Structure 1
Amino acid sequence: MKHTVKTLVTGASMLAVAGAVQAADLSFAGGWPPNSAPTAKIEDYAKAVEDYSDGEVSVRVFPLSLLSFGEINAGLRDGIADVAGNLLAYFPAEYPTLNMLAEFSELVELEEYAGELSSLAFTGAIMDYVMNDCPACMDEMSAQNQVYLGASSTTSYALQCAVPLTSAADLEGKRLRAAGAYWTRWAESVGATPVSMSVNETLEGLSQGVVDCTMSNTADFVNFGFIDVVDHVYIGAPGAQFNVPFTMNKDTWNGLSDDNKQAMMRAHAKLAADIAWVYVEEGRAGRERAPDMGIEYGSAPEDIVEMNREFIQQDKEAIGEIYNERFGIESGSEAAVALTEGLAKWSELTKDVSSGEELAEIYWNEIFSEIDVASYGK
């Protein structure tokens, strides 16, 4: 399905008075299942786009039907869909700078930032940096014929295990499902064996003993059914979060009027907030259900948490070196400083948030409302 952008012209006299009125029927390629909580929030986003644009822009949501997560980048680039949640970790060569920034989510596990709402702070910090202070990020997006319209972060990754862990020594030799580069490095650092496995395969991997633990976010504990096969959930390690940018086909974006671009910005502030918040809510739901199912759910052993923080202190310097060696990126140290400072700011801004609506207002006021839509994404 190709996107369509329709320009409505009501006559030369009206154009002379009011200028062209641009409307669009957009498609959103959703990689989450139809009945999942993220998909429900994307449907809310579609309604918000229509409301904020006074009906000039509409969005049809295609959950797990138009494009899979693995197909989304090329699909957006080529105009098969207009908007999507784009898992950039699937495309390391295309988005080296943006993927480097996402790896700094490990910083939320440091004592001064750790907590249930740390994902809200990291979401704000990375959006703020990318949209205002990262020309290389904009260049990577433009090269893929896309525009960056914010992001959401999952809750932090925890050890969700079929076997007990009483100390750091118990990690030696364990098979841990790893979702990306950070978690692979972490597993190797503790003497475990990282196993590359998609989230859709992980339930079976746990139930059949292919892996002893999955390193997954606390919302996926419920969303992907791990709650049915694990007996232990250890919070505080390995940490880090998966950051999901929302990106739009560049041609579609630049076919909109400035007013409709502003409407999209307002809706994307809501989408970023709603997805981040629903992960918090799903994480809470899993924690509440676990005791009745006989699942041990609590902090990881103290020596594992301490070892994790020591690893992060070293790894945050290694990230820049890794991306410099692989992709020639020289901004790793600068980005680490900027995101650390950003986390301090955003931890303060989001520490008392109690709803997605409240969070959306913060993201809008602090970031999205300040963007010059006339020049953004050109």
Structure 2
Amino acid sequence: MKYTIKGLLTGASLLALAPAAFADQLNFAGGWPPNSRPNSVVEDYAAALSENSGGALTMKVFPQSLLSFGEANAGLRDGMADLAVTLTPYFPTEFPNMNMVSEFAELTELPEFSGELSSAAFAGAISEYVMTQCTECKSEAAAQNQVFMGASMTTSYVLQCVVPINSPEELKGKRIRTAGAYWSRWAESVGAVPVSISVSETFEALNQGVLDCTASNTADFMNFSFIDAVKYVYAGLPGGQFTVPTMMNKDRWDGLSAEGKSALMKANAKMAADMTWVYVDIGRNGKTEALERGLEYGPAADSLLEMNRSFIENDITSVAAIYDERFGLKNGAEVSTALRASLGRWTALIADVDSAEALAEVYWNEIYSKIDVNNYGM
């Protein structure tokens, strides 16, 4: 009898430990260094998932070890990781619709949308559009065995220079590091020379005089120490923002329970908000430090801003034509119209947001809580 009772007690103890012992672990392949602030955001994402699921789902973060940004698409597709940031511009043929949508981030530089939190508004607009309207975008992800889980955004790209630029004429012939198609088109349109080099090589190129400027977001000003190389920072041009989408292996998503998917969706709202806010916060700190050091940091000259806005209005049409010619996408005009209307709504929604927590609540209420997890990604 005593052995029977002992066995029952042991079985009861194991059942009590079951949620922790048999928690389902997801693996996140991060492309950021271990001690970086973006990686801290991913760690918080993992903690939020565990809390939201009552410990039934956990997440292990592999910073810059399991998959690099360049390896993320194939690695996620093949199940080497469960979640990762797939930077779709690295994979133009696989994600043409997603990339076209992302290029319309240039809208954030127009007067009615510009501002310090324009990236928070566009992150909401693009996440909502892809998750609820863009069937083609979700089909692209599915073809790569992935599910789109929402996006954050970098801050707007600004001109960071070792030489002064006070007029459109002074841009001619300048060698400017560009991060993608939008920025290369912009440089060519103003008579500058676009230079395609990795962000990690940019600091040395600025220091050695290989570059006159870099078109980079305001957080990279600090993240890659451009603050130690440049003397002038001109906000308002060239504009554009980089989309940072979280993707999940489709097989893994399909295998989660409805409760697990809901817990992950809530964590995704936090991830999108926190990552977007980190770029805003680092950008703020960079401007403060730059001014303390005596660097010139402020809006570009009016003539440059006017030139830039004219370029953007024309480029919106060009984007549609480019993606039609290269990829046969016929809906560019409709996409830009839809995003422009959505961006107006989102600009109002985030106008009074003053923290990452408040931004996550808006994202959750407006997007992620409305997703039918039983059908999403199917």
**Bucket of the pairwise TM-score, normalised by the shorter protein:** over 0.9
Contact conserved, 2:150 with 2:245, CA < 8 A, in 1?
yes
Provide the C-alpha distance between the structure 2 equivalents of 1:23 and 1:373, rounded to a whole number of angstroms: 20
Deviation at 1:208, TM superposition (A): 1.2
Other-structure match for 1:280: 280
CA distance in 1, matches of 2:53, 2:334: 38
Distance 2:173 2:320 in 1: 28
Gaps of 5+ in 2: 1-10, 16-21
Measure how far apart 1:32 and its partner are.
1.1
Secondary structure of 1:187's aligned partner: helix
For 2:272, the aligned partner's letter is A
Opposite residue 261 of structure 2, the aligned amino acid is: K
Tell me, yes or no, if structure 1 residue 204 matches structure 2 residue 176. no
The alpha carbon displacement at 1:164 in A equals 0.8
- Give the Cα–Cα distance (whole angstroms) in 1 for the partners of residues 107 and 38 of structure 2: 25
Q: 1:334 maps to which residue?
A: 334
Q: Which letter maps to 2:208?
A: Q
The aligned amino acid for 2:135 is: P
Residue of structure 2 in register with 1:171 after alignment:
171
Query: SS in structure 1 opposite 2:244?
Result: strand
The answer as to whether partners of 1:199 and 1:224 remain within 8 angstroms in 2 is: yes
Give the alignment's TM-score, normalised by structure 2: 0.94
Decide whether the 8 Å contact of 1:24 with 1:256 is kept in 2. Answer: no
Report how many aligned residue pairs link the two structures. 360
Aligned to 1:305: 305
Report if the CA contact (8 A) 2:94-2:140 is conserved: yes
> Pairwise CA RMSD of aligned residues?
1.3
Greater Cα offset, 200-209 or 351-360: 200-209
Q: Tell me which residue corresponds to 2:373.
A: 373
Aligned equivalents of 1:259, 1:210: Cα separation in 2? 54
1:359 is the counterpart of 2:359: yes
Residue matched to 1:39: 39
Q: State whether structure 2 residue 148 is matched by structure 1 residue 148.
A: yes
Aligned to 2:345: 345
CA contact (8 A) 2:166 2:304 kept: no
2:189 aligned with 1:189: yes
Q: Which residue of 1 is the match for residue 323 of structure 2?
A: 323
Shift in Å at residue 36 of structure 1?
1.1
* Distance in 2 of aligned mates of 1:204 and 1:263: 44
CA contact (8 A) 1:157 1:217 kept: yes
Question: After superposition, where does 1:3-14 map in structure 2 within 5 Å?
Answer: none
* Corresponding residue for residue 289 of structure 1: 289
Query: Which residue of 2 is the match for residue 18 of structure 1?
Result: none
- 1:226 deviates by 0.5
Residue 263 of structure 1 deviates from its aligned partner by 0.3
Task: Give 1:98's aligned residue.
Answer: 98
The SS at the match of 1:290 is: helix
- Find the residue that maps to 1:59 and give its secondary structure: strand
CA distance in 1, matches of 2:36, 2:203: 17
* SS in structure 2 at match of 1:297: strand
Q: Deviations over 1:56-78 (max 9, x none)?
A: 11111111111111000101000
2:143, 2:55 → 1: CA distance?
A: 31
Q: Deviations over 1:68-94 (max 9, x none)?
A: 110001010001111011110100000
- Contact 2:28 / 2:81 at 8 angstroms: preserved in 1? yes
Runs of 4+ in structure 1 over 2 Å off: none
Q: Specify the SS of the correspondent of 1:179.
A: coil
- Offset at residue 200 of structure 1 (A): 1.1
Rounded Cα–Cα distance in structure 1 between residues aligned with 2:146 and 2:220:
28
| 2:59 corresponds to | 59
Deviations 1:112-147 (A, max 9, x none): 001000000000000110000000001000000000
Q: Is the CA contact 2:178–2:194 (under 8 Å) kept in the aligned structure 1? A: yes
Q: Could you say which residue in structure 2 is the equivalent of 1:19?
A: none
Residue number in structure 2 paired with 1:239? 239
Output one character per residue of 1:27-76: Cα deviation in whole Å (capped at 9) or x when no partner: 11111111111111110000000000110111111111111110001010
SS in 2 for 1:79: coil
Q: CA deviation at 1:294?
A: 2.2
DSSP-derived class of the 1:34 partner: coil
Q: TM-score, normalised by structure 1?
A: 0.94
Equivalent-residue separation in structure 1 for 2:81 and 2:171 (angstroms): 43
Separation (CA, whole Å) in 2 of partners of 1:354 and 1:311: 31
Q: C-alpha displacement at 1:23, in angstroms?
A: 4.8
- Equivalent residue, structure 1, for 2:82: 82
The alignment status of 1:131 with 2:131, answered yes or no, reads yes
Matches of 1:189 and 1:282 in 2, distance apart?
Answer: 30
Which letter maps to 1:127? S
1:17 corresponds in structure 2 to: none
